[in-house]
Amino acid sequence: QVQLVESGGGLVQPGGSLRLSCAASISGFSPTVMGWYRQAPGKQRELVASITTGSSINYADSVKGRFTISRDNVKNTVYLQMQMNSLKLEDTAVYYCNAQRRVAPTFTSWGQGTQVTVSS
């Protein structure tokens, strides 16, 4: 029901900034929450930030004050973005866009992932 296409990853020095974008093409039912997850080598995938259709926002403690999530709805496409500032070495991971619908009919969709590497 939702096709997710991510962009914006790359290589940045510590203290630098990146902006991730995700375009969600919706056919049928809309997601009720969208967010960004990340997975570092050897670690489990973790929630970074999420935003609901009611604009309720949640951040992982490790990124509060540094990352900002936002969304815009344009016709049948939702544009999800995350501004990442003051990047740290430990932010290095593959970042995945996620869309979920938590009321029937429920679903979960994932993007293909985009690599973020923070290195000096």
Which tens digits make up the pLDDT trace of 15-65? 999 999 999 998 888 899 999 999 999 999 999 999 999 899 999 999 999
pLDDT band at 6 (very low <50, low <70, confident <90, very high): very high
In the three-class reduction of DSSP (H, G, I as helix; E, B as strand; rest coil), residue 41 is classed as: coil
Pull the structure tokens for residue 29.
């039912």
Torsion, CA 63, CA 95, CA 79, CA 112, rounded to 10 = -170
